């Protein structure tokens, strides 16, 4: 609740209730609030009554409003850049085929690889833009985007370039290198050789400034813990943080492996053991819950939610937006699913899509409303923050600001 020394803020919003999340528990809400920004930073967050001067003297634009303002939402796990869709596989799963059966028959990730390789950069951008717009419309101001549907140097590079180009929408984009997502046909039966190639590509893409973090799919139908370790060692040599698709279908100790490399996050984590939870707590690794995939795959094995709470492991929530297992275009809907399937409270879900999601990306300047934080915030037409997890769909965001600029 402090003001900067600037006398000409870019904007000042008055009258809304503020869910600052700037406290360990609760919404840390402020009634009849005042929120101001200059350039890309918040300059005042507090009650209107604590403003140091008359509003018209403080800001170039003063807006009176109602409803609530929260920090901008942070979608910390997406596969948003891809071509084509896998609607037919959705039908196959409803008819009894498992995710693994579809993947082993040449569907799954590899079907998206074929479509993504066939699209040039412009077409890939054209198909990805509507998905990004949908996330923004429902409050997302920071989005992580993974590669992993190219599986060769040129196409992984193409995906990462398109992800960077989505910053033209005004949001923050964090890119994650996920070449260790699936084994491409040309490397069938040669997983170790593929990891050698993917490590070499990583170095080249890092030089181009296209990689913010490194991920892998550590699973029986993905890559072994030993292969994942090699990829993470290469990331460490380049001073890149790691995260991991861990323990989604089985417990291979993936979450503990991510923690051993001081990983930003372990994602999915349905089968994560208590020993891995303790390792995550020790190393500050965030558990990223992906209820969209849990829902679409009709899973029944819950993540160890009570253990995460007991050991103080932060729980983030993300869409996992992807064409096969989580065709989800709303982080707010992911929050609702986290409450419904995982029994998160609405406060836990909102923190999971703001404070903890930012931590899962290694970003410490957002996810809360606080003077000095990045000016990412959303105005909502709601009577209480719990409504963000209550409504299934529908337009609740009336304005979305990222870096001090209105992006919706």
Concatenated DSSP letters of 182-232 = S--GGGTT-HHHHHHHHHHHHHHHHHTT--SEEEEEESTTSB-HHHHHHHH
- pLDDT for residue 36: 97
CA-closest candidate to residue 358, choices 214, 142, 134: 142
* Alpha carbon distance 154, 273 (integer Å): 38
* Alpha carbon distance 63, 28 (integer Å): 22
* Alpha carbon distance 128, 237 (integer Å): 32
- pLDDT for residue 3: 43
Q: Is 75 annotated as a binding residue?
A: no
* Alpha carbon distance 338, 317 (integer Å): 7
* Alpha carbon distance 318, 153 (integer Å): 27
- pLDDT for residue 238: 98
* Alpha carbon distance 235, 281 (integer Å): 22
Write out the two tokens for 115.
């479509």
Instruction: Kindly give the residue spans of alpha helices, DSSP state H, lying in 75-149.
Output: 87-94, 99-104, 109-118, 121-137
Tally: H helices and E strands in the chain = 16, 18
Write out the two tokens for 245.
């698709």
Helix/strand/coil for 174: strand
- Residue 21 CA from chain centroid, whole number: 18
- pLDDT for residue 101: 84
- pLDDT for residue 4: 43
Question: Do the Cβ atoms of 402 and 139 come closer than 8 Å?
Answer: no
Which phi and psi (to 5°) does residue 173 adopt?
-120, 130
Task: For CA atoms 333, 337, 340, 343, give the dihedral sign.
Answer: negative
- pLDDT for residue 8: 85
Q: Is 354 annotated as a binding residue?
A: no
- pLDDT for residue 109: 86
Question: Do the Cβ atoms of 259 and 228 come closer than 8 Å?
Answer: no
Question: Do the Cβ atoms of 58 and 51 come closer than 8 Å?
Answer: yes
- pLDDT for residue 107: 80
Q: Is 311 annotated as a binding residue?
A: no
CA-closest candidate to residue 142, choices 110, 167, 165: 167
Q: Is 325 annotated as a binding residue?
A: yes
Q: Is 86 annotated as a binding residue?
A: yes
- Angle of CA points 13, 14, 19, to nearest 5°: 85
- 256-294 pLDDT, tens digit per residue, is 999 999 999 999 999 999 999 999 999 999 999 999 999
- pLDDT for residue 1: 41
Question: Do the Cβ atoms of 386 and 346 come closer than 8 Å?
Answer: yes
- What is the DSSP pairing of strand 172-180 with strand 265-268? unpaired
* Alpha carbon distance 173, 180 (integer Å): 21
- The low-confidence residues of the chain, meaning pLDDT below 70, are 1-7
Q: How many CB atoms sit inside 10 A of residue 394's CB?
A: 10
Q: What is the pTM of this model?
A: 0.95
- pLDDT for residue 6: 46
Q: Is 168 annotated as a binding residue?
A: no
Q: Is 324 annotated as a binding residue?
A: yes
Q: Is 245 annotated as a binding residue?
A: yes
* Alpha carbon distance 403, 368 (integer Å): 13
Q: Is 271 annotated as a binding residue?
A: no
Q: Is 181 annotated as a binding residue?
A: yes
């Amino acid at each position: 609740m402090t003001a900067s020394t600037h006398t000409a803020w870019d904007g000042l919003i008055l009258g809304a209730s503020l869910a600052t999340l700037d406290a360990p528990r609760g919404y840390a809400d402020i009634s009849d609030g005042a929120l101001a920004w200059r350039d890309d930073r918040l300059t005042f967050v507090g009650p209107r009554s604590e403003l140091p001067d008359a509003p018209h003297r403080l800001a170039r634009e003063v807006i009176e409003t109602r409803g609530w303002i929260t920090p901008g939402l942070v979608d910390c796990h997406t596969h948003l850049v891809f071509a084509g869709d896998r609607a037919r596989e959705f039908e196959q799963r409803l008819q009894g085929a498992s995710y693994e059966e579809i993947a082993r028959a040449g569907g799954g990730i590899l079907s998206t690889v074929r479509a993504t390789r066939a699209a040039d950069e412009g077409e890939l951008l054209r198909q990805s833009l509507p998905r990004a717009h949908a996330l923004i419309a429902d409050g997302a101001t920071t989005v992580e985007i993974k590669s992993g549907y190219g599986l060769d140097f040129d196409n992984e590079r193409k995906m990462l370039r398109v992800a960077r180009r989505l910053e033209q929408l005004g949001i923050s984009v964090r890119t994650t290198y996920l070449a260790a997502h699936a084994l491409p046909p040309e490397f069938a039966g040669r997983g170790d050789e593929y990891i050698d190639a993917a490590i070499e590509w990583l170095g080249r893409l890092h030089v181009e400034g296209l990689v913010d973090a490194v991920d892998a799919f550590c699973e029986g139908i993905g890559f072994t813990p030993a292969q994942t370790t090699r990829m993470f060692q290469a990331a460490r040599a380049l001073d890149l943080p790691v995260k991991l698709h861990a323990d989604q279908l089985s417990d291979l100790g993936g979450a503990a492996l991510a923690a051993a490399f001081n990983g930003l996050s372990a994602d999915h984590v349905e089968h994560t053991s208590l020993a891995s939870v303790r390792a995550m707590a020790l190393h500050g690794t965030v558990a990223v819950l992906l209820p969209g995939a849990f829902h679409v795959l009709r899973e029944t094995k819950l993540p160890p939610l009570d253990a995460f709470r007991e050991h103080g492991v932060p729980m983030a929530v993300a869409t996992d937006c992807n064409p096969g297992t989580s065709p989800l275009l709303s982080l707010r809907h992911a929050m609702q699913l986290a409450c419904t399937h995982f029994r998160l409270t609405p406060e836990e879900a909102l923190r999971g899509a703001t404070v903890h999601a930012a931590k899962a990306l290694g970003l410490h300047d957002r996810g809360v409303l606080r003077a000095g934080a990045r000016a990412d915030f959303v105005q909502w037409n709601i009577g209480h923050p719990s409504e963000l997890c209550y409504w299934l769909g529908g337009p609740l965001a009336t304005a979305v600001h990222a870096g001090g600029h209105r992006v919706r």
